[in-house]
């Protein structure tokens, strides 16, 4: 058997719907831990509002945030997986359907003419990132409706390799945080990409946002840097929504790539507390395993 366009369309539709309405369990757990650690009454009030927001969205099956973002789909393709038809066409249809039925705000426009088809598709959107997974017999899809309050605060610097790149990375993140303050709707997850090229560095940083919160990089040097930056950011006392408190960042996730001998790009990107993503695997026999939002279960 092979994975059909129909199965892909149905799966991506469900992923987009679940992502827009229900946060993954790791995000809810991180918010609950931050609330328990908080001592600032204003910050405590913010966390209570977040949890009420989550409850209402779940109970009423409506979007967690009025900005339902632009659709990104990460597609990990196993080499032992077989596809039929045009999978990206199926994904596009799924996004258009989700826009109408969830509903999602009609955000995607032509940036020059401002034309809006009302489907959140067109001009290369949804943005699909393909990655080949050797030996795997499944297609793993992760749907992300990425909001732009946090997206627009992304930043990139280039650090000469004659400098201490780890120290430069800490400074770069702190500079971006102090400039953004509450505009990125904290508490945020901070994604950092070190090395590679200008484009691949930012791509690494963005995908790192959707690693389960608190899951450290397997490289011990990178993991130590994640912990250092996380502690440094929260020590600024900016707190949720910039009103003061212990938690500005729920997590800091870093990915690293080889760099040019002369200079390394360092990319920094935020994901607001509404960290929306949903993930599933489709197998050759048509079976679909929903990972972040299991069928019939709580998120």
Give per-residue pLDDT as tens, 143-191.
999 999 999 999 999 999 999 999 999 999 999 999 999 999 999 999 9
Give all strands (DSSP E) within the chain, no chain letters.
70-78, 127-133, 138-146, 155-160, 188-194, 249-256, 263-271, 278-283, 288-290
Query: Is 233 found in the same domain as 86?
Result: no
Query: Is 286 found in the same domain as 142?
Result: yes
- CATH number of the domain enclosing 97: 3.30.360
130 within domain boundaries: yes
Query: Is 243 found in the same domain as 162?
Result: yes
Identify the pLDDT of residue 85: 95
41 within domain boundaries: no
Query: Is 186 found in the same domain as 263?
Result: yes
283 within domain boundaries: yes
Query: Is 215 found in the same domain as 123?
Result: no
Displacement of CA 112 from its chain's centroid (Å): 27
Query: Is 92 found in the same domain as 76?
Result: yes
Query: Is 10 found in the same domain as 143?
Result: yes
Confidence of residue 289 (pLDDT cuts 50, 70, 90): very high
Among 186, 204, 220, 298, CA closest to 257? 204
Query: Is 265 found in the same domain as 118?
Result: no
Query: Is 203 found in the same domain as 256?
Result: yes
Identify the pLDDT of residue 139: 98
38 within domain boundaries: no
Q: What is the pLDDT of residues 124-150, one digit of tens each?
A: 999 999 999 999 999 999 999 999 999
Query: Is 126 found in the same domain as 160?
Result: no
Identify the pLDDT of residue 221: 98
Query: Is 259 found in the same domain as 206?
Result: yes
Query: Is 254 found in the same domain as 211?
Result: yes
Domains in the chain, number: 2
Confidence of residue 296 (pLDDT cuts 50, 70, 90): low
Domain span holding position 18: 5-22+64-147+276-290
Across the range 220-242, mean pLDDT stands at 98
């Amino acid at each position: 058997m092979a994975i059909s366009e129909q199965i892909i369309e149905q799966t991506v539709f469900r992923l987009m719907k679940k992502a827009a309405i229900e946060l993954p369990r790791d995000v809810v757990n991180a918010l609950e831990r931050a609330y328990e650690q908080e001592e600032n009454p204003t910050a405590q009030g913010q966390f209570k509002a977040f949890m009420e927001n989550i409850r209402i969205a779940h109970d009423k099956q409506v979007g967690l945030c009025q900005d339902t973002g632009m659709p990104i789909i990460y597609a990990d393709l196993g080499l032992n997986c077989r596809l039929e038809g045009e999978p990206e066409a199926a994904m596009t249809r799924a996004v258009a359907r989700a826009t109408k039925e969830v509903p999602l705000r009609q955000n995607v426009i032509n940036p020059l003419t401002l034309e809006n088809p009302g489907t959140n598709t067109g001009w290369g959107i949804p943005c699909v990132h393909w990655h080949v997974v050797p030996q795997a017999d499944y297609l793993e899809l992760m749907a992300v409706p990425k909001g732009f309050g946090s997206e627009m605060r992304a930043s990139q610097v280039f650090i000469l390799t004659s400098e201490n790149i780890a120290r430069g990375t800490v400074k770069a993140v702190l500079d971006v945080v102090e400039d953004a303050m509450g505009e990125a709707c904290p508490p945020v997850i901070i994604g950092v990409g070190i090395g590679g090229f200008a484009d691949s560095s930012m791509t690494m940083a963005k995908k790192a946002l959707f690693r389960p919160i608190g899951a450290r990089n397997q490289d011990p040097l990178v993991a130590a840097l994640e912990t250092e930056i996380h502690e440094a950011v929260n020590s600024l006392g900016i707190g949720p929504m910039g009103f003061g408190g212990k938690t500005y960042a729920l997590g800091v996730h870093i990915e690293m790539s080889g760099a040019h001998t002369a200079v390394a790009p360092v990319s920094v990107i935020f994901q607001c507390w509404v960290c929306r993503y949903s993930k599933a695997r489709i197998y050759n026999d048509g079976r679909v395993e929903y990972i972040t939002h299991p069928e019939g279960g709580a998120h």
